[in-house]
Structure 1
Amino acid sequence: MTLEEVVRYVESLPHVKRKGTEAQPAWYVHDRLVVRQQDSQTLVIRVPLSRRESLLEEYPDTFGVPPRMEAHHKVEAYLEQAEPQAVRTAIDLAWEMQCRTSGSP
């Protein structure tokens, strides 16, 4: 999956706004993080903890959780080996979680 595909997908979701920097863009819903580019091949996606393990088990080559993120609602997605549908699913989970938290769809 390419970063361009990620950008097209996340920016197609309602209420998503691009922020961050040129080198590390990030996309938010109502000022709450959905996804951020970590480096040229890695994304950080905010996902519910209740769904994180199932994503890791189902797509072990797509997602990982480094020690610094274990206590957070986040996964890393590795674009070079990522299954596109898995990344879209994680982004959808993040978007839904952030919309619920903000109180609007």
Structure 2
Amino acid sequence: MTPAEVDAYVATLEGCRRKPRGWYVHHTRLVARLTDPTTLLVRVPIDQRDALIDRWPDAFGIPPRLEAHHKIEAYLDRAAPEAVREAIRLAWEFQRYSGLRQSDT
């Protein structure tokens, strides 16, 4: 998957917009950002990261610096497009609904 394909997919998600440093929902809630041309940092719930890695072990990784965070790396040069899309969709749902809960309180 290419960064352009990531951009095209993210554009289909309601309320998700590209900013200079990545893709966001509600203007401030990070969904994903490129850390280099082939690595996409995706903000997914911690409890769903292992399932992504189990399903697509070559597509994703969690470097030690990210273990305590709601983040996973997607390796665009070797990940199946459906794997990357699933991670982005999870991130979008997580951030979209997290933002709604915060604004409701």
Q: Same fold (TM over 0.5)?
A: yes
- Equivalent of 1:47, from 44, 48, 54? 44
The match for 2:19 is 19
Aligned length: 100
Unaligned runs of 5+ in 1: none
CA distance in 1, matches of 2:74, 2:42: 7
What is the Cα deviation at residue 2 of structure 1? 1.2
Unaligned runs of 5+ in 2: none
What is the Cα deviation at residue 92 of structure 1? 0.4
The match for 2:98 is 101
SS in 2 for 1:81: coil
CA distance in 2, matches of 1:100, 1:80: 30
Query: Over aligned residues, Cα RMSD in angstroms?
Result: 1.1
Aligned-pair identity (%): 53
CA distance in 1, matches of 2:35, 2:29: 17
SS in 1 for 2:58: coil
SS in 2 for 1:37: strand
What is the Cα deviation at residue 41 of structure 1? 0.5
- After TM superposition, the score normalised by the length of structure 1 is 0.91
- After superposition, the C-alpha distances for 1:45-64 in whole angstroms (9 at most, x for unaligned) are 00011110010111110000
Letter in 2 for 1:70: E
What is the Cα deviation at residue 19 of structure 1? 1.4
